Chain A
Amino acid sequence: MKKLTLTLAALALTASGAAAQDVVRMGTEGAYPPFNFINDNNELEGFEIDLGNAMCERAGLTCEWVINDWDTIIPNLVAGNYDTIIAGMSITEARQEVISFTQNYKEPDPSRYAALIGTDPSVIDNGVIATQSNTVQAGYVAETDADLIEFPTPDETIAAVRAGEADAVLADGDFLRPIVEESSDLEFIGDPMHIGGGVGMGLRQSDDELREAFDAVITEMKEDGSLNELLIRWFGEDTPTF
């Protein structure tokens, strides 16, 4: 009997070993600097690309990147077009009903409003606010008295503010900061707010094995400080670390 269980265990090991040889396809948006973006050489770059590659290396997995629109990024994960979402996605209860998340690899970053310089901060309550669709920020603005307009890409939300189509944009502070700092026409208004949890990697709910593998790697990277190094490199010294 004991022998049988051993053989079974060995079989199970080889089976999972074979599964580990499969290429893990990592889905990302490629339009959300500095999290993930397509650089001028037509390659993916950003915090999550570095992190994803490091995680795959530590977990001994072969990974390849897939670019997918933000709006359909969850349906295409569920349909099996790729195996993970690593796209600056906040861990929320609504999303957890559809997919599962690893632990967060980035602390929740306060969301900020940005507007043209000289905009009255009262637009936050009664103006027109631009957000990217299907984000935690879009959900938040929908609950306030302000009018919400949604755009499929983060870039378009900024363009809408510059064009006067929206009074302000609400987005992750990490995304807005470089844009506001380098521009001469935009500034932050109102106070930073915490919406949603930290950022984690999304997986199919049936993929427990893969989730556990990535979870373990994240824990390891949190403990040895390599995750903090990446955070500081991409988000600056002031970013919350682990």
Chain B
Amino acid sequence: MFEFCADPSILPDWQWFACYLTSGTHLAFYRSFLVVILLLMITAPVALGMGMLGALALRSHSVPLNLIGRGYVNLIRGVPDIVFFLFVPIALGQGIEWVLHQINCPDWDQPIRQGNDFIVCREAKMPPVGASAWTRNVYGFTMAIIAFALVFGAFVANTLHGAMQAVPRAQVETAESYGMTRAQAFRRIVLPQMWVFALPGLSNIWQILVKATPLLFLLGIQDAVFWARELGGAKTSLYTYPHPDWRVWYFLALLVFYLFLTWISERGFGWLTVRLSRGQATAEGERQRRRAA
């Protein structure tokens, strides 16, 4: 990074730290925070979408749809997250390869499972044979997003379903007596009003999602926790920057990062609550009305 970094062993303290904190591994460490934020930014809307579908299925009068919704929500809520994070990428990865194998290599005569090995033909490999490291990273990251969205979607579904039920029934009845269909009443009456009821639950799920991001490490993604552990460990003179065990400082940095995320989200949700309560028949809406009057 800096010119004076050529031989760190002879540097005074401040320069040594300047070089140390800008080493290749540290730059990767800083980037890993962005990876965490990127994961959150993508997973949150996808999980919200999954949750909406789940909630609609839960509300549905069609028996199979309702069963699918209930099965999804209860199955995922009942199984430890970590099991799903381990299960989804392996099962999905092998599932995709199995399907591609059936499509691309119908003439294959060997069994796919040979003892312990899972073998598909060359054309069925995912990511494809010869894919760049970048493609593989994106593939792994996508798997992680799917696993996160599946798990958190189930919680969101339950919260949204509860929020839809919380919209006063009398309003929906009034809408229907005006001649609106069930779908119209839902779109015009329930959907705009449900969010204020869903917010406390959603903010909980968001916080849990933030705290669950270190599980990325389990999926083979080098996230902030991986780097904190890797960089903090004692280093012998085999490394350019030997140092004793500094993990406590690296984990402190993580702590600050996650507290900062929590603080920012707390503020965001506070603002959203005020914004969404406007004109609502809730305590906060009532307060706003009286203040305005």
Contacts and interface: CB of A to CB of B under 8 A. Distances in A.
A in complex with B: yes
Interface of A: 22-23, 31, 33-34, 37-43, 64, 67-69, 76, 78-80, 98-99, 153, 155-156, 158-159, 162, 178-179, 182, 204-206
A79 B94 contact: yes
A78 B234 contact: no
A40 B229 contact: no
Nearest to B245: A159
Contacts of A206: 114-115, 117, 119
B241 A40 contact: yes
B233 A155 contact: yes
Interface string B221-262: 010000001100110111111100101000000000000000
A178 B236 contact: yes
B236 A80 contact: no
Contacts of A31: 230
Contacts of B87: none
Contact of B236 (A153, A156, A182): A182
Contacts of B242: 182
A42 B27 contact: yes
A205 B115 contact: yes
Nearest to B133: A64
27 contacts: A22-B122, A23-B130, A31-B230, A33-B239, A37-B239, A38-B25, A40-B23, A42-B24, A76-B220, A78-B117, A79-B90, A80-B118, A80-B119, A80-B125, A99-B116, A153-B229, A156-B233, A159-B233, A159-B234, A159-B247, A178-B237, A178-B238, A179-B234, A179-B236, A182-B236, A204-B119, A206-B114
A11 to B, nearest CB: 15
A155 B233 CA distance: 6
Nearest to B110: A206
A43 B25 CA distance: 8
A66 to B, nearest CB: 8
Contacts of B118: 78-80
Interface string B122-151: 100100011001000000000000000000
A18 to B, nearest CB: 9
Given A22-B129, A78-B116, A205-B117, A39 B240 contact: yes
B234 A158 contact: yes
B187 to A, nearest CB: 45
Contacts of A22: 122, 129-130
Contacts of A155: 229, 233-234
A68 B226 CA distance: 12
Contacts of B240: 39-41
B56 interface: no
Interface string B12-36: 0000000000011101100000000
Interface in B46-64: none
Most buried by B among A22, A40, A153: A40
Given A79-B93, A162-B245, 4 more contacts: A22-B122, A39-B24, A68-B220, A76-B220
Most buried by B among A34, A41, A98, A158: A41
Contacts of A153: 229, 233
Question: Top 3 nearest A-B pairs by Cβ distance?
Answer: A42-B24, A155-B233, A41-B24
Contacts of A159: 233-234, 245, 247
Contacts of A40: 23-25, 239-241
Contacts of B239: 33, 37, 39-40
A33 to B, nearest CB: 5
A222 B94 CA distance: 39
Interface in B181-226: 220, 222
Contacts of A67: 222
A205 B116 contact: yes
A79 B96 CA distance: 13
A111 B91 CA distance: 38
Contacts of A80: 97, 117-120, 125
Given A33-B236, A159-B245, A159-B247, A43 B220 contact: no
A23 B133 CA distance: 11
B116 A98 contact: yes
Contacts of B97: 80
Contacts of B125: 80
Given A38-B25, A79-B118, A98-B116, A33 B233 contact: no
Contacts of B130: 22-23
Nearest to A180: B236
A156 B232 CA distance: 10
A158 B247 CA distance: 13
